[in-house]
Amino acid sequence: MFGFGNKRFIGIDIGTSNIKIVELKVSGNRPVLTNYAWVHIHDFMVGGDLKSAYFDTILPEYIKRMFAESKMTGREANFSIPAFGGLITLIEFPDMKKEDLDQAIKFEAHKYIPVSLEDVVLSWDIVSRKSVSKLIDRGEILAENKNRIPENKSNDKIGVLLVAAPKNKVIKYEKLAKDANLELKSIEIESFSMVRALVGNDQGNFVIVDIGSRVCNIILVEKGVIKANRNIDAGGKDISRVIAKSMSVSDEKAIVLKISGKNFLNGESNLSFPVIDLIIGEISRVLNSYYKEKADMAIDGIILSGGTAGLSGISEYFSKALNIKTTIGNPLGRIEYDKRIEPKVKEIGNQFSVAIGLALNGVDEYLRK
């Protein structure tokens, strides 16, 4: 009668080598997978970026075709901006009134953003408050009066998560949605989508390692809140090249071999993957930097995502190197789906983390109403 469960929530992830689209609906207060689509776009890349002409003309046509062929009915779309295209940083301030904090953040943002603030879309959120006696988490903060920050207290500090995205990128995505005959519901940096899909409401401390085609995104998450975000130019392409060169096969064949189930990391293959050790080293630096004054803090686990997470033996390799339990992310863990597609879900599910997280953003907003 009220159309409950008929509404569709769309997440669109435009990566450096693929477009991925997920469609969810709500049934019995649970998100349900109704459709997904995936297409390669590696031929559209120049120096790792999408050619501008393709973004403006061909991408909208691809998206429209993906919707038509998969018979998706949703039209309200949530898009992501690549993590390397934006800024996420945690800044600590003395506790102060909201109007004073507004000004302090704008002043402090200049230290982190190398361009004029007029050229970025800026947002921020208070994610923690430290007092002499305890740390108040984000849930407690949100339960307070949202328009008021308590008066100064001796030694109190507040943690502010600052997020910035280039205004020209936001405008491009707005145009893309319009040209694809979609209604733009939201745009967010993909790190937030990944946390929503892979961590959700889990209150532990995790490191998400998303190994994309050319960029690895490392996200430190405490109780669902991003505390550090690092991107390095290293990814699945580097691993595929090692396999291609060592086995004298094409890059395309190497990609297939990479996720074929053969364990290239067990030492018997005599292959060395410097890029994996580079990623592990960067994770160690992130943890050592953030926890240098928090010796009592512990990481509950590392979560691997992206196509390279399908490389046999990779979770064991990370676990041994970092001495931290490592698992393959399951973005469909909170979602119901037709069990007949279980084999396909196991094969490609972790590559849809961003798209699923985007669609879940729409679901969560809908369920809060």
| CA distances to 23, 130, 134, 225, 293 from 138, in Å | 29, 11, 13, 8, 21
pLDDT confidence of residue 167: 92
Residue 341's pLDDT band (boundaries 50, 70, 90)?
confident
Evaluate whether residue 231 is within a structural domain: yes
Task: Give the pLDDT mean for 34-62.
Answer: 74
Evaluate whether residue 229 is within a structural domain: yes
Residues 157 and 227 in one domain: no
Evaluate whether residue 76 is within a structural domain: no
pLDDT confidence of residue 302: 97
What CATH number is associated with residue 310? 3.30.420.40
pLDDT confidence of residue 294: 66
Residues 156 and 228 in one domain: no
* Structural domain span for residue 91: 86-166
Residue 106's pLDDT band (boundaries 50, 70, 90)?
confident
Least confident span in 13-27, 37-51, 100-114: 37-51
Evaluate whether residue 199 is within a structural domain: no
| CA distances to 4, 312, 354 from 332, in Å | 22, 20, 11
CB of 67 within 8 A of CB of 19?
A: no
Evaluate whether residue 55 is within a structural domain: no
Residues 232 and 282 in one domain: yes
Assess whether pLDDT exceeds 60 at residue 202.
yes
Residues 155 and 209 in one domain: no
Task: Give the pLDDT mean for 4-15.
Answer: 82
Residue 301's pLDDT band (boundaries 50, 70, 90)?
very high
Residues 209 and 309 in one domain: yes
Evaluate whether residue 39 is within a structural domain: no
Domain end residue (candidates: 140, 166, 192): 166
Residue 5's pLDDT band (boundaries 50, 70, 90)?
very low
Evaluate whether residue 249 is within a structural domain: yes
Evaluate whether residue 308 is within a structural domain: yes
Assess whether pLDDT exceeds 80 at residue 172.
yes
Q: Give the chain's domain count.
A: 2
Residues 244 and 160 in one domain: no
What CATH number is associated with residue 148? 3.30.1490.300
